[in-house]
Amino acid sequence: MTDHFKERSTRDYHQKQLFAKEELEKRESLCTHEDPPFCNAACPLKLDVKAMLAAVSEGDFAKGRSLLEYITPFPEILAYGCEGPCRRTCRRSEIEESVNIPAIERAVMRHSDVPKARGLLKMRKKQKLAVFGSELFTVAVAADMANKKYPVTLYTEAENEMDLFRRCADLDDEILERQLPLLKKAELKICFGTPLDREFLEKEEAEYDLVCGASYLKEEEVDPVTLCDSRNRIFPHAEKRYSHILQSLFDARRAAVSFERIVQRLDPHNNRPQEGETESHLFTNLNYIPSEDAVAENGLYSREEAIREAKRCIQCECVECFRGCAYLRAFKRYPRLLTREIYNNTGIIMGDHMMNKAMNSCSLCGQCTVTCPNGYDMAEICRAARENMVDTQKMSLAVHEFALLDMLFSNTEGYLAGKQPGYETCRYVYFPGCQANAIAPDTVFKTYEDLMQRQPGGVALMLGCCSVIARWAGRRELYQEQIAFLKEEMHKLGDPIIIAGCPTCRSTLQEHFPEVIGLWDVLKEIGLPEGSGKLQQEVMIHDACGARNDPDTQNSIREIVSRLGAEIKEGNWSKEKSACCGYGGLVSYVNKEVASEMAEECVREDPQATYITYCMACRDRLKRQGSNAVHFSELVYGTAADDAPGLSQKRRNRKMLKEKLLKEVWKEEIMQEKPEFTYELSEEVRQKMEDRMILESDLLETLQAYRDNQMAVYNETDDTLTTRHRIGNVSFWVRFREENDHYTVISVYSHRMTVRTR
Amino acid sequence: MPNEKTYYSLEAGGNLICHKCGIRLVKGNAVFEYLENAFPVELPVCPQCGFVYVPEELAMGRVLSVEKVLEDK
Ligand code: SF4
Ligand code: SF4
Ligand code: SF4
Ligand SMILES: [Zn+2]
């Protein structure tokens, strides 16, 4: 078993693909966080409506204007002529009237100034463009390409600029006049009063590199996407989907893309951005959105009215999985991106693995799979990534070693199995789980006594760990070994039905043993013992992530809690949506901050409430976070668990429980070895050890080694001795004062590096 | 630690004595090793038995941070 704990070398290079490309894409595609908001998806010009509304809601009309100018050279005309397909898809419309986006566009144009100069100095382009025609499409193409610094000549029958605009759009002069400065700004050569026909076009076009014409100059139908004819000249297509103004400006935008491709000597079909109406699978949760009446547009919104209307925008985005998961919030990445980064991390052969901490900070609790509208399974990805890193010897042992050794402790020194006295065969075995043994030994003891008395058929006992720790750590082989051990042990007990005291043990063991039930199932059946606690108060239930997909367990717990006399207040985040306490996935060993936030998250709905748990780890984590949490079995048996026991205390509790059971149930005499020496630890030293994950047993072993070999350094200045001892992969140092056989410990520290002279 | 040979300086006069040998520790050549990476350093060493002393500040400071960096390699 020890070779599981051999440190790897950073100089061995192994690689294994985490997922095949298709599987990665399939998993990632479930997260639609990056899909566009519905307004943007519906807009053929792809206006970033959400950003525009955000800007306006903050009074930044100039930014709103620049977003409009980005999609079209004539935003003023657009704002008055667009029928607003975005309004039809706006999610606000499912609550009441949709956001009046075109009205806000009009206000943006009116309440902001024509920008003085474009921010970026663009290089003049060489290719010359001739545009023929006096319709909105041709004028927009000419202006747009001129803005892009192409030398453009526009031939028009119109006599002057206003005449030209009047031919373009059936709008009031006053509106068109406001658009004039943008036309002037475009630095475009306009040949007014030119009679246009195909002949003229044929004659002139020889002088130019690029040609665009109005529909009445077209010789043949053009490609519906690129708007190019067979000679790559551009004309509007006959098919119209939108009103004249929107369609013309949309066509002009597509023409500009085609021209850019032609200039790059590419097929104009190539590499086009998303154009026209697109589909979006973005999810917007409307449950949290208060209703807000639309602001009426009387002529034109004032600044204030526009701001008020823009504030009605929900700013659609999907954050469903974020709401309940402190881990995702801490790493500030939604699952699609997180998955990609974790995937890339597993692919790094040499160099820094920046996402190790991320993949090891997920509690593998499965909440996101429930809260995500598409069932995204982040847990499976993080677990698979851990296994991958272990398999390729890139997962540092340091990350999970402490927890793994703790599991082995549970299944060796802390392990106990025995049949109920007086029974040759037992129908059941009670398996409380390593955390119950570590946190609530008295409760476990009482529970077992009760089961022996009241559960017919004989109940054996097994104190140990279900091995989930190894699975969470991504250590497959170790997991299989531990499961094999448990199987052998169960067999010795006659393969009884397992009564699990912990929902995670239950779901883990269920995969390997034919019949596993919960302690709650038994108590529901046989009833509560005499003298069980009475709880005349309102409580909330903190459901365990180990029972997320197990409504029977969730309901049994509720029934038991009701029988205890309590009134259950059901929260919005209970049952299958419950957050993890931070013990799951070994987060509390890897990322204490995230683990605390997870515990905090569990009680966020009502931090003052009493929370009934049915997993002892939850009870411990919530209590540690300062909440009022109690395990249902504490109430049933009227025994209190330890409040936030330290790492060493958890081990001591397991040993004490084992010894007490051996003595009182199986009447075995326990030989208490008398320690050779005594020691004392201040509260400060204890806390230091806790933070540094150093056990009292490590300390004792180190002092014992010193007594054997006398290796230490004496510091004259403060009259202390410091000794060192290596246990497994860790060097422990203890600074102390010695008086006969008594040690006053001053400090304890450790490191994983080895050190020697050279 | 890489590119830095000395990151612990012995106090002048040295106040450390090897408990076993009864000899004053001296500045000596030592090497830290982890995951098959080696870092030569100078640390207080017993000239007789070779015991190398790693002070707490060093262990919980630079040693720990270098360990963390290597663990993510
Ligand atoms: S809930 Fe999370 S995982 Fe699901 S689509 Fe939204 S952002 Fe993506
Ligand atoms: S609420 Fe805002 S972001 Fe959502 S669809 Fe409507 S305008 Fe777009
Ligand atoms: S901690 Fe739970 S909810 Fe959050 S990503 Fe991991 S499995 Fe999903
Ligand atoms: Zn010595």
The DSSP string of A40-74 is HHH-TT---HHHHHHHHHTT-HHHHHHHHHHH-S-
Split into its structural domains, chain A has a count of 3
List, in order, residues 6 or more apart from A387 with CB less than 8 Å away. A474, A476
Confirm if A634 and A641 have CB atoms less than 8 A apart.
yes
Tokens of A616: 């002892």
Partner residue opposite A715 with nearest CB, options B16, B29, B63: B16
List, in order, residues 6 or more apart from A400 with CB less than 8 Å away. A360, A472, A473, A474, A475, A586, A589, A590
Same domain, A524 and A410: yes
- Beta carbon of A313 within 6 Å of any ligand 3 atom: no
Alpha-carbon distance B42 to nearest alpha carbon in chain A (angstroms): 9
Q: Is A742 part of any domain?
A: yes
Cα(A574)–Cα(A468) distance, rounded to whole angstroms? Answer: 23
A692 contacts in chain B (CB < 8 Å): 60
Q: Answer with the one of A339, A360, A395 that is the final residue of a domain.
A: A395
Using CA positions, which residue lies closest to atom 5 of ligand 2? A90
Confirm if A259 and A210 have CB atoms less than 8 A apart.
yes
B20 contacts in chain A (CB < 8 Å): 709-712
Q: Is A308 part of any domain?
A: no
CATH of span B1-73 = 3.10.20
> Between A and B, how many residue pairs show a Cβ–Cβ distance under 8 A?
110
Which ligand 1 atom lies nearest to the CA of residue A334?
Answer: 7
Residues of A with a Cβ under 8 Å from any B Cβ are: 7-11, 350-354, 356, 396, 398-399, 692, 709-717, 721-722, 724, 731, 733, 735, 747, 749-758
Q: Is A361 part of any domain?
A: yes
pLDDT at A182: 84
pLDDT at B21: 96
Using CA positions, which residue lies closest to atom 5 of ligand 1? A31
| Cβ within 8 Å, pair B35-A757 | no
Same domain, A381 and A435: no
Same domain, A580 and A729: no
Cα(A157)–Cα(A154) distance, rounded to whole angstroms? Answer: 10
Using CA positions, which residue lies closest to atom 2 of ligand 1? A321
Q: Exposed (0-12), middle (13-18) or buried (19+): which is B57, by Cβ within 10 Å?
A: exposed
Q: Answer with the one of A395, A426, A458 that is the final residue of a domain.
A: A395
| Cβ within 8 Å, pair A11-B15 | no
Same domain, A406 and A327: no
Alpha-carbon distance A399 to nearest alpha carbon in chain B (angstroms): 8
Ranges in chain A, pLDDT < 70: 1-2, 117-121
Q: Is A185 part of any domain?
A: no
Query: Considering only alpha carbons, which residue of chain B is nearest residue A735?
Result: B56
Q: Is A139 part of any domain?
A: no
Confirm if A525 and A565 have CB atoms less than 8 A apart.
no
pLDDT at A351: 84
Neighbours of ion ligand 4 (CB under 5 A): B 18, 20-21, 46, 48-49
Same domain, A606 and A733: no
ipTM for this prediction = 0.93
Query: Considering only alpha carbons, which residue of chain B is nearest residue A396?
Result: B71
Q: Which domain holds residue A12?
A: 2-33+319-395
- Beta carbon of A602 within 6 Å of any ligand 3 atom: no
Partner residue opposite A353 with nearest CB, options B25, B56, B72: B72
Q: Kindly give the distance from the C-alpha atom of residue B27 to the centroid of ligand 3, in angstroms, as a whole number.
A: 51
Q: Answer with the one of A339, A370, A395 that is the final residue of a domain.
A: A395
Strand order in the sheet with A210-213: A189-191, A152-155, A129-132, A210-213
Amino acid, res. A113: D
- Which value, to the nearest 10 degrees, does the dihedral of the CA atoms of residues A266, A269, A272, A278 take? 180
Same domain, A639 and A557: yes
Cα(A89)–Cα(A102) distance, rounded to whole angstroms? Answer: 14
Nearest ligand to the C-alpha atom of residue B49: 4
| Cβ within 8 Å, pair A9-B33 | no
Q: In what helix (H) or strand (E) does residue A628 lie, and over which residues does it extend?
A: strand A628-631
Alpha-carbon distance A357 to nearest alpha carbon in chain B (angstroms): 9
Same domain, A340 and A469: no
Using CA positions, which residue lies closest to atom 8 of ligand 3? A368
Q: Is A660 part of any domain?
A: no
Q: Is A302 part of any domain?
A: no
Same domain, A531 and A411: yes
Q: In this structure, what CATH number is given to the domain that contains residue A709?
A: 3.30.2310
Given pLDDT bands bounded at 50, 70 and 90, which one contains residue B4? very low
